[in-house]
Amino acid sequence: MNSSPLTFPAGFLWGAATAAYQIEGAAHEGGRGESIWDVFCRVPGAVADAHNGDVACDHYHRSAQDVGLMRDLNLAAYRFSISWARCMPDGVTPNPEGIAFYSRLVDQLLAAGITPWITLYHWDLPQALEDKGGWAARETAERFADYAAVMHEALGDRVRIWTTLNEPWVSAFLGYAAGIHAPGRQDPAAALAAVHHLLLGHGLAVRALRRQDPEATLGITLNLTVADPADPGRDGDLDAARRVDGQSNRMFLDPLFRGEYPADVLADVAHLGMAEVVRPGDLDIISQPLDLLGVNYYHGDAFTKDPAPHPGPAGGAPASPLVAADGVRQVPRGLPVTGMGWEIQPEGLRRLLNRLQREYTGPAGVPIYITENGAAFEDVPDADGFVDDQARLAFFDQHLRAVHESLADGVDVRGYFAWSLLDNFEWAFGYHQRFGLVRVDYETQRRIPKASGLWYSRVAASNALPAAGG
C-alpha cells in the first residue's frame, strides 16, 4: 500500500460551489423579480412539502459571514451563480440594487483572497422571459447575451473567470420535457428547441464577453455521465447506452467542440422538429473557442432497451423522457448509493475525464475543471450540531483519487469544486437532501462545518490527499 500523500499539481484550484436560488433567499427584496423557480414552487406537488427558496440559507444577508467561512475552510475559489431575476427583474432592464449585491460579494471574496468564479445561469430564468416562450424561444438566447454584457460591465474589472451556463441538459430536458424542474413543461419538441437556444445563448454570450474583454477566461459547465450497456452482449443495451450518451453528453459536447450535432442523435429525434430551429451560422456561434470546460459529475448508470429480463430489479428514472419514450431504462448494478439513490461510481469519473481529453478537450487545448462533485446522505447532527459524515468524506476521497489517477493519465484537470459549500434548497427535493460541507440549521441559520468540510479544508491547504487509509 502506498503510504505517501497524493500531491496535486502546483496551482491546482480548490473550491466549493453554490447556486443563487438555492442559497440566497431575499426573494422579495432589493427589486428582485420572479424567476421560473419562484413560480414553479407554488405548483402543488412540484417541490417536497411545498418548500421554496424564499429564505433558503439567507446568504443575501449573510454573505460576509459565508465568505469568512470559505476563508476558514482554505478555499481558494468560490463558484457561485448570479440571479438574472435579481439583476434584471424583467429579463431586460438592469436593477442597480440587485447588481450591487454581487459587486459587494465579489469585493468580499477578493478581500479574503478567494477567486470569484461566476456562473451566469443556474436554472433561474426570469419568469417574464418564460412568459414569452422561455428557452424554447430564440429571443431568450439574445436576451441572455445582453444580460451577460450587463454583468460584465458591472463586475468585469474584478472578475476574470466567467462560465455561461450550468447544466443545460437539466434546464432543457428536466424543465421542458420531464416537467419535474421549472418551468414544469412536458413538451419534447420544446425541450430540443431549448437545447439549441441554450447553446446559442452560450455562444452569443461568449461573443459579447470577448468583445468587452478579450482577456477574460470563458467557459461552460456541463453535467456529464458515463452510460454503460447493462449487458454489452445485447444489441438493445448497446443502443440504450448510445442513446443516453448521445442526449446527455454528445448533444452538448459535439456542437461546442466540433460545430455540429451528432448525426445519430439528430436521427433519433428527427420527428420532433429540432432541425427547424437551427439556423445557418448558429453552430459557428456555438462552437467559438473556450478557455475551460466545467464538468459536473455525480454518477454513471447502466441502461437497457432489451425486453429480456436482467438480473436484479428494474432501475429508476431514465436519463431523459426522450430516451424513456424509446424504451430505455436504468438497471441497478448493486453499487453503493447516496441518499438520492444515485450509484457511487468514482471510476466512472476517471473514464469520463480520459474520454473528454481524448475526444474533445485535448485536441482543442481546453483545460478541465471539476465544477461539481458531491453527495447527499442522511446527516445526523450531535447535540452541538456537528455532523460526522464519514460517508460523504469517503465519497470526496474516492472521487479525488479518481481525479488524481486521471492527472497521472495525462488529463489536463486544473481544479475541483465540491458541491456544495452549504446545505441548501435542493430543487424538487426541497431541504430534505443535504450536500453541504457545512451544515445549515435552517431554523437558526447557524453554520457548522461537518467532518467532510474539515477534511476538505485540510486537503485544500496541503494540496494533497492523505495516504490511503490515512
Active site residues: 167, 372
> What is d(CA 306, CA 336) in angstroms, rounded to the nearest whole number?
25
Q: What does residue 304 show for φ and ψ, rounded to 5 degrees?
A: -135, 150
Instruction: Count Cβ neighbours within 10 Å for each residue of 142-168 and write b for 16 or more, e otherwise.
Output: ebbbbbbbbbbebbbeebebbbbbbbb
Candidates 147, 139, 193, 195; CA nearest to 171 is 195
Contacts of 303 (CB under 8 A, 6+ apart): 227, 228, 229, 230, 237, 240, 241, 243, 244, 318, 319, 328, 329, 330, 331
CB 269 within 8 A of CB 345: no
Q: What's the helix, strand, coil split of the chain in %, to 5?
A: 45, 15, 40
For residue 343, the Cα-to-chain-centroid distance in whole angstroms is: 18
CB 450 within 8 A of CB 438: yes
For residue 468, the Cα-to-chain-centroid distance in whole angstroms is: 29
Candidates 40, 20, 17, 22; CA nearest to 433 is 22
- C-alpha dihedral sign at 97, 99, 25, 182: positive
Instruction: Count Cβ neighbours within 10 Å for each residue of 256-291 and write b for 16 or more, e otherwise.
Output: bbbeebbeebbebbeebebeebbeeebbebbbeebb
The alpha-carbon radius of gyration of the chain (Å, integer) is: 21
- Number of other residues whose CB lies within 10 A of the CB of residue 193: 25
